[in-house]
Amino acid sequence: MRSILDVILLVLQLYVWLLIASAILSWLIAFNVVNTRNQVVATIADFLWRITEPVLKPVRSFMPNLGGIDISPVIVILIIFFLQSVITRYIYPNVF
């Protein structure tokens, strides 16, 4: 059972890194540092959008309009950190 919790913790940590990569890539695209006409950049951007958007979209619907500032990745990362903390402090020690 602990191995399943280890896998869950690993997946959550990987998702945090995907959220960070998605946010950074969206900034780079917005400031024209990278060009989305490049096939590699477009493929990576599409992959990150498809992976992160299903989680970010419901969070964005609850967030107030902040005028172009999207803090939904920060909110999701904080929720993931909370879940990791709950798993490591309360669930993991009680599993035999």
pTM value is 0.91
Residue carrying the six token digits 């909370």 = 82
- Largest distance between two CA atoms of the chain: 52
| Cβ-based neighbours of 47, under 8 Å, separated by 6 or more | none
Give dist(CA 68, CA 13) in Å, integer.
27
Closest of 62, 61, 34 to residue 48, by C-alpha: 34
CA 38 to chain centre: 24
pLDDT tens by residue, the chain, 96 residues: 899 999 999 999 999 999 999 999 999 999 999 999 999 999 999 999 999 999 999 999 999 888 888 899 999 999 999 999 999 999 999 887
